[in-house]
């Protein structure tokens, strides 16, 4: 619905810089709500908040969304063009050895293309291009094939290329198995564990089992799960599947269906579980292996049934949807909540430059390229500060949600979300809610089923002025204070029940922050016997404990590629000094050391935050002889996985048990995890442990692998949804002796007020333009009817002129 009260503010005008130019003696009275004009026409009811003294010049505010620039180099991480992707797809179908079927027509036993996207070029080649005027690296497509036309289905990563802007090169384009980026050397192949997961075989299996106890589901919960239109229950279970002793085992449980559009099913577990051995593709070989209910395991359906019909059998209540599980407004309206909350504005328009085509962004002294991939979504490349690279690459690697519980479903759940992909689920952002209304939006695209889906407005870029200053100081003569304006690029991926918000922010002091927040629906547990694994959060519901651990790659290049990790420990000591009369003084000092090899590079944040880690360059000292560097610190919630040697994950997420891990950079180790690590947890395509082979880490090209996350023990406040305010984690990278002083002194957005005796004698604004512009309040809100969802373009056959709208979410 269009913002219904926009009339209220139409034509409301104020001076954006009234704070600086001439503060009102009593700003509170000037802003009394009732005095706001309620007329629609912009010429009527204007209210000039120009204070009491000099009348500023009124100019027009700028509504530039960004300044257009050309990226200095082409973006080698920016993704395939539509033409390239279509050409590769056509070429793949022409290779008879792949025996491909078009996705729309494919069944269980047909080979299909799962992915066609740009393969990131090797760092060596990119640096040669960026720094030494070398050639643009050859472009290759990373293709994933889903081989199902065989008894043992598998995924296959292959490389196709080189490719030209016009597409596949006639004669020279080749394919080869993609193996070098993976620790497991099996020609880019990994088994497809749940080739049948999405469709008929598993459903038929599960409904057949459910049918054998439909009398019990009707009696317990008044419903059935039989694959019929009148089902009021659903059945699903663990991820990843159990993969021990050569068997593939599922656990499934019953959930209430919701009765409306709200996505509340993960809040409606029912507490009955069953185990099936589903090894192999032949359902005749599958076996139901037992039932679990209220703390008792029954080996057969008959055993469960006879217990159920034994007098005295305890029947536990259902979880039923209600307003408690719905996110719409609920409860009494809060005092003054119908008045509009504060909103931020950009009187001069966006103060940053974007090459929208190349996805290169420049703000103040920072610049970077934007990359985007199916598995991990947004990444930032060639991040430069004051013209020099500080990070070659910064981006998400994997996100783990490891649950635990007394029941086999919670106990068996350890989502590795790059399996689903962060790219495909970064939906259009809601202007004015996900990002400030004035933000600049960019699109992202990914390949699925011979189409390219474009998420419109799925990245937002904006500046924001924090509610606290970056610097201040008061004396009896003056007060000096600096605005804290920062720049953020953000995306949100809704992977199933959860919404992850990723924000990368840049600050005037040269620091860079990485933040992740989580919202959406929790996956909850049935309450019975679960006290040791969660709080009881509703009548029949337990908030299921889980760890969110998200791994980020930070490939620092401080003053060149060769860097060292420095460790500075603050320690308590008892020591004597020449001046202490021979008496020991209890005090503290610094212990300085360096991480020498990969044998000592898997680290934890020190207790009491007493350990500082930084990436420094021993060959680049500042004018006082200190090494220049960037400090790496957790700003909030930098955690690692509580579970040691997880039974669910085995070798699939060995990155998760430390806080900060350092390796020597190799083109063969571009990512900490593979999207299909969950398909073979004992022998995953990428086993992060294999990165650590004792290599020397002194003055060499280093990569930091950093974990962020939350120990999430949902409480009543997680209903209906977890809130971003508490489910929040962050890392900070800040200059350490990198420059000779604080770079934020350069900003003109600071002020010094000289005063004395109750009078101001001077106001120094450092040349900041004191002119004003008239801001209409209405631009602060946006037309939400513009929201579109994904736009899809067909690639095979390539049909760029007939895009259609279709948004797919994980259910
Ligand atoms: C503010 O400026 C407007 C436009 O120039 C003027 O009409 C109005 O009188 C001024 N208000 C005050 C309080 O000076
Ligand atoms: C090709 O795939 C089809 C199924 O799409 C299968 O029936 C056929 O056997 C496969 N051919 C070869 C040579 O593998
Ligand atoms: C990238 O580096 C890997 C590992 O050294 C190598 O196998 C591969 O061929 C390189 N790719 C290109 C395009 O040169
Ligand atoms: C590739 O070369 C072959 C043989 O020269 C030719 O028939 C075909 O049309 C060419 N394809 C493209 C896309 O240029
Ligand atoms: C659901 O529909 C089926 C077939 O249409 C019917 O036999 C069954 O009784 C219905 N179940 C319930 C619970 O209404
Ligand atoms: C919980 O179960 C009880 C029966 O034990 C039932 O009466 C109640 O409605 C259930 N509560 C909810 C919210 O589903
Ligand atoms: C995003 O895609 C839409 C639809 O194709 C297009 O109109 C718009 O210009 C794109 N936005 C940017 C910033 O490229
Ligand atoms: C690292 O540890 C391995 C065994 O754990 C050892 O073989 C190797 O020599 C060590 N490397 C260094 C550089 O200390
Ligand atoms: C690592 O390399 C540096 C520089 O080459 C050398 O001084 C140091 O001894 C090496 N460290 C180890 C543990 O081998
Ligand atoms: C980085 O250090 C290695 C030795 O570890 C050296 O071979 C290489 O030349 C250095 N690279 C640069 C760009 O300084
Ligand atoms: C401050 O200003 C007031 C009124 O303008 C004046 O009376 C007073 O003398 C001034 N005080 C000083 C210390 O300048
Ligand atoms: Cu959570």
Mean pLDDT value across residues 143-154? 95
Same domain, 183 and 255: no
The pLDDT score that the predictor gives to residue 568 is 98
Whether 110 and 215 map to the same domain: the answer is: no
Cβ of residue 34 lying under 6 Å from some atom of ligand 11: no
Q: How far is the centre of ligand 11, averaged over its atoms, from the C-alpha of 34 (Å)?
A: 36
Closest atom of ligand 5 to CA, residue 222: 13
Is the CB of 163 within 6 Å of ligand 6? no
- For residues 34-62, give the mean pLDDT: 37
Choosing from 126, 174, 180 the residue with most ligand 3 atoms within 8 A of its CB, the one to mutate for a pocket test is 180
Mutation test residue for ligand 1: of 13, 46, 55, the one with most atoms within 8 Å of CB: 55
pLDDT tens, position by position, 477-491: 999 999 999 999 999
* Within a domain: 428: no
Residue 557 Cα to ligand 2 middle (Å): 49
Active site residue 417: yes
C-alpha–C-alpha distance, residues 506 and 337, integer Å:
33
Q: Same domain for 167 and 288?
A: no
SS3 71: coil
The per-residue pLDDT for range 274-283, each reduced to its tens digit, is 999 999 988 9
In a domain, 312, yes or no: yes
Beta bridge partners, 730, equal: 515, 636
Contact in structure between 639 and 728 (CB atoms under 8 Å): no
Q: Exposure pattern of 9-39 as b/e (b: 16+ CB <10 Å)?
A: bbbbbbbbbbebbbebeeeeebeeeeeebee
Please indicate, yes or no, if residue 519 is contained in any of the structural domains: no
Pocket of ligand 3 (CB under 6 A): 122, 138, 180, 667-668
- Shared-domain flag, residues 66 and 171: yes
Closest atom, ligand 7, to C-alpha of 443 = 1
Residue 784 in this model has a pLDDT that exceeds 90: no
pTM for this entry: 0.90
What number of helices (H) and strands (E) belong to the chain?
Answer: 9, 43
Rounded mean pLDDT, 9-18: 30
Of 668, 669, 554, 678, the closest CA to residue 614 belongs to 554
Closest CA to 70 of 296, 314, 354, 320: 354
Are 21 and 146 contained in the same domain? yes
Contacts of 27 (CB under 8 A, 6+ apart): none
What is the whole-number distance in angstroms between the Cα of residue 136 and the centre of ligand 12?
42
**Mean pLDDT computed over every residue of the chain:** 89
Q: Which atom of ligand 9 is nearest to the CA of 597?
A: 13
**Inside any domain, residue 51:** yes
Query: Is the shortest distance between the CB of 48 and ligand 1 below 6 Å?
Result: yes
Nearest CA to ligand 10 atom 5: 700
Backbone angle region of 107, left / alpha / beta, with phi > 0 → left and psi within -120 to 50 → alpha = beta
At 248, which CATH number?
3.10.450.40
Determine which of 113-127, 244-258, 385-399, 441-455 has the lowest per-residue pLDDT on average.
Answer: 441-455
Any domain includes 16: yes
pLDDT of residue 50: 32
Nearest ligand, measured from the Cα of 728: 12
Q: How far is the CA of 567 from the centre of ligand 8 (A)?
A: 20
Catalytic residue among 263, 417, 555, 701: 417
The answer, yes or no, to whether any atom of ligand 6 lies below 6 A from the CB of 264, is no
Give the phi and the psi of residue 759 in degrees, each rounded to 5: -120, 145
The single residue of 498, 500, 526, 738 carrying the catalytic annotation is 498
How many angstroms is it from 53 CA to the middle of ligand 1?
10
Other Cβ atoms closer than 10 A to 539: 12
Of 303, 325, 347, the one marking the end of a domain is 325
Span 117-126, pLDDT tens digits: 999 999 999 9
pLDDT-derived band at 42, boundaries 50, 70, 90:
very low
The pLDDT score that the predictor gives to residue 127 is 98
Please report, rounded to a whole number, the percentage of residues in the chain having pLDDT higher than 70: 90
Q: Quick check: is 11 in a domain?
A: yes
Of all ligands present, the nearest one to the C-alpha of 21 is 1
Dist. CA 473 → ligand 11 center (Å)? 24
- Average pLDDT of span 655-676: 98
> Which of 77, 11, 76 is CA-nearest to residue 46?
11
Lowest average pLDDT, out of 376-390, 438-452, 645-659, goes to 438-452
Answer whether residue 160 shows pLDDT above 60.
Answer: yes
Average pLDDT of the segment spanning 795-806 = 79
Q: Which range has the worst mean pLDDT, 113-117, 753-757, 794-798?
A: 794-798
Query: Is 265 in the same domain as 236?
Result: yes
Contacts of 51 (CB under 8 A, 6+ apart): 18, 21, 22, 23, 24
Q: Tens digit of pLDDT for each residue in 518-527?
A: 999 999 999 9
| CA triple 216-217-221, angle to 5 deg | 120
pLDDT band at residue 639, thresholds of 50, 70 and 90?
very high
Which atom of ligand 9 is found nearest the CA of 697? 1
User: How confident is the model over 58-84, as a mean pLDDT?
Assistant: 85
What is the atom index within ligand 1 of the atom nearest the CA of 51?
A: 13
Cα 283 to middle of ligand 2, angstroms:
21
The strand pairing partners of 378, in sequence order, are 372
Task: Give the pLDDT confidence score for residue 197 in this predicted structure.
Answer: 60
Instruction: Determine whether 239 is an active site residue.
Output: no
- When computed from its CA atoms, the radius of gyration of the chain, rounded to whole angstroms, is 29
What was the pLDDT predicted at 675?
98
C-alpha–C-alpha distance, residues 543 and 503, integer Å:
27
Q: How far apart are CA 269 and CA 738, in angstroms?
A: 53
What's the 760 CA to ligand 11 centre distance in angstroms? 9
For residues 121 and 143, membership in a common domain is answered with yes
Q: Which residues line ligand 7 (CB under 6 A)?
A: 356, 442-443, 454, 456, 791
Q: What are the pLDDT digits (tens) for 74-88?
A: 999 999 998 999 999
Whose CA is closest to atom 8 on ligand 1? 48
Ligand 9, atom 10: nearest CA belongs to which residue?
696
pLDDT in tens, 387-411: 999 999 999 999 999 999 999 999 9
- Band (22; pLDDT cuts 50, 70, 90): very low
Residues 51 and 151 in one domain: yes
Nearest CA to ligand 9 atom 4: 698
Provide the number of structural domains found in the chain.
Answer: 2
Give the pLDDT score at 349.
84
Q: Does the pLDDT at position 202 exceed 70?
A: yes
Residue minimizing CA distance to atom 2 of ligand 6: 317
Whether the predicted pLDDT of 23 surpasses 80: no
Ligand 8: atom nearest CA of 596 is 13
Last residue of a domain, one of 274, 306, 325: 325
Ligand nearest to the CA of 124: 3
Whether 13 shows a pLDDT value over 90: the answer reads no
The pLDDT of residue 577 is above 90: yes
Mean pLDDT of the region 636-648:
94
Interval between CA 562 and ligand 10 midpoint (Å) = 6
Range(s) of the domain holding residue 31: 5-189
CA-proximal residue: ligand 2, atom 13 (nearest): 99
d(CA 169, CA 508): 46
678-688: average pLDDT: 98
pLDDT higher than threshold 60 for residue 29: no
Please indicate whether residue 657 or residue 343 has the higher confidence score (pLDDT).
657
pLDDT for the residue 651: 98
Are residues 53 and 149 located together in one domain of the fold? yes
167 found inside a domain: yes
Give yes or no: residues 206 and 248 share one domain: yes
User: What is the per-residue pLDDT for 345?
Assistant: 85
Q: What is the mean pLDDT of residues 603-617?
A: 96
Q: For residue 767, what are the contacts with CB-CB under 8 A and spacing of at least 6? A: 748
Same domain, 168 and 224: no
**Predicted confidence band of residue 34 (pLDDT cuts 50, 70, 90):** very low
Ligand 9 nearest atom to the CA of residue 696, by list position: 1
Which bound ligand lies closest to the C-alpha atom of 599? 8
- Of all protein residues, whose CA lies closest to atom 3 belonging to ligand 6? 317
Which of 285, 303, 325 corresponds to the end of one domain?
A: 325
Cα-to-centroid distance, 200 and ligand 6 (Å)? 33
Is residue 548 in a domain?
A: no
Q: Is 696 in the pocket of ligand 2 (CB under 6 A)?
A: no
Which ligand 3 atom sits nearest the alpha carbon of residue 119? 13
Co-location of 101 and 243 in the same domain: no
158's CB contacts (< 8 A; 6+ apart) are 142, 143, 144, 145, 175, 176, 177, 178, 188
């Amino acid at each position: 619905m269009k913002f219904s009260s926009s009339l209220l503010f139409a034509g409301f005008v104020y001076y954006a810089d009234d704070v600086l130019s001439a503060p009102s003696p009593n700003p509170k009275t000037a802003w009394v709500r009732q005095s706001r004009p309620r007329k629609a026409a912009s010429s009527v009811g204007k209210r000039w908040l120009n204070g009491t003294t000099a009348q500023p010049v009124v100019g027009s505010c700028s509504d530039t969304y960004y300044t257009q620039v050309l990226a200095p180099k082409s973006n080698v991480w920016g993704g395939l063009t539509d033409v390239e992707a279509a050409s590769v797809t056509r070429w793949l179908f022409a290779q008879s050895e792949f025996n491909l079927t078009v996705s729309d027509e494919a069944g269980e036993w047909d080979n299909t293309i799962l992915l066609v996207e740009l393969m990131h070029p090797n760092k060596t080649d990119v640096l040669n291009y960026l720094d030494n005027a070398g050639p643009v690296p050859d472009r290759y497509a990373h293709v994933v094939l889903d081989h199902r036309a065989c008894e043992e289905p598998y995924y296959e990563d292959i490389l196709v290329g080189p490719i030209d802007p016009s597409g596949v090169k006639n004669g020279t384009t080749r394919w080869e198995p993609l193996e070098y980026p993976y620790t497991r050397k099996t020609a880019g192949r990994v088994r497809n564990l749940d080739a049948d997961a999405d469709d008929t075989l598993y459903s038929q299996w599960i409904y057949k089992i459910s049918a054998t106890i439909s009398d019990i589901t009707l009696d317990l919960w008044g419903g059935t799960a039989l694959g019929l239109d009148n089902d009021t229950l659903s059945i699903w279970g663990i991820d990843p599947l159990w993969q021990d002793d050569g068997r593939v085992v599922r656990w499934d449980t019953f959930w209430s269906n919701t009765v409306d559009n709200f996505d509340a099913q993960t809040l409606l577990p029912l507490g009955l579980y069953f185990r099936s051995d589903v090894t192999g593709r032949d359902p005749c070989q599958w076996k139901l292996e037992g039932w679990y209910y209220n703390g008792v395991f029954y080996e057969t359906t008959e055993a469960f049934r006879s217990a159920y019909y034994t007098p005295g059998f305890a029947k536990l209540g259902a979880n039923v949807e209600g307003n408690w599980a719905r996110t719409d407004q609920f409860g009494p309206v809060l005092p003054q909540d119908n008045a509009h909350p504060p909103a931020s504005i950009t009187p001069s328009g966006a103060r940053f430059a974007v090459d929208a085509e190349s996805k290169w962004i420049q703000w103040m002294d920072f610049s970077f390229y934007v990359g985007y991939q199916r598995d991990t979504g947004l990444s930032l490349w060639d991040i430069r500060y004051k013209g020099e690279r500080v990070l070659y690459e910064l981006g998400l690697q994997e996100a783990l949600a490891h649950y635990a519980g007394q029941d086999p479903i919670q106990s068996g759940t350890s989502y590795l979300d790059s399996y689903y992909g962060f790219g495909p689920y970064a939906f259009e952002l809601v202007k004015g809610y996900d990002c400030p209304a004035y933000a600049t939006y960019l699109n992202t695209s990914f390949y699925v089923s011979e189409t390219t889906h474009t998420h419109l407005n799925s990245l937002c870029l904006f500046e924001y002025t924090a509610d606290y200053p970056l610097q201040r100081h008061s004396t009896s003569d003056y007060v000096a204070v600096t605005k804290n304006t920062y720049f953020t690029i953000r995306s949100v991926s809704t992977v199933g029940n959860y919404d992850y918000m990723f924000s990368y922010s840049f600050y005037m002091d040269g620091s860079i922050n990485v933040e992740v927040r989580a919202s959406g629906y929790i996956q909850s547990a049935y309450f019975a016997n679960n006290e040791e694994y969660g709080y009881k959060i509703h009548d029949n519901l337990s908030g299921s404990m889980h760890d969110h651990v998200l791994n980020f790659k930070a490939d620092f290049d401080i003053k060149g590629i060769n860097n060292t990790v420095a460790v500075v420990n603050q320690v308590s000591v008892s020591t004597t000094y020449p001046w202490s009369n021979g008496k020991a003084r209890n005090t503290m000092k610094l212990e300085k050391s360096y991480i020498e090899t990969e044998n000592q590079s898997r680290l934890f944040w020190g207790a009491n935050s007493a350990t500082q880690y930084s990436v420094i360059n021993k060959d680049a000292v500042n004018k006082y002889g200190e090494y220049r560097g960037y400090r790496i610190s957790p700003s909030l919630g930098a955690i690692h996985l509580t579970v040691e040697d997880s039974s669910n994950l085995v070798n699939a997420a060995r990155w998760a048990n430390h806080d900060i891990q350092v390796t020597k950079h190799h083109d063969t180790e571009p990512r900490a995890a593979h999207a299909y690590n969950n398909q073979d947890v004992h022998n995953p395509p990428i086993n992060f442990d294999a990165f650590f082979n004792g290599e020397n880490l002194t003055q060499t090209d280093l990569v930091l692998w950093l974990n962020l996350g939350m120990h999430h023990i949902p409480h009543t406040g997680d209903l209906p949804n977890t809130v971003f305010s508490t489910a929040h984690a962050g890392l900070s990278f800040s200059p350490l002796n990198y420059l000779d002083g604080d770079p934020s002194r350069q900003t003109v957005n600071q002020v010094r007020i000289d005063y004395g005796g109750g009078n101001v004698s001077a106001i120094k604004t450092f040349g900041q333009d004191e002119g004003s512009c008239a801001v209409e309040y209405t631009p602060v809100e946006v037309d939400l009817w513009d929201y579109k969802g994904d736009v899809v373009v067909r690639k095979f056959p390539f049909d760029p002129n007939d895009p259609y709208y279709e948004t797919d979410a994980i259910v």
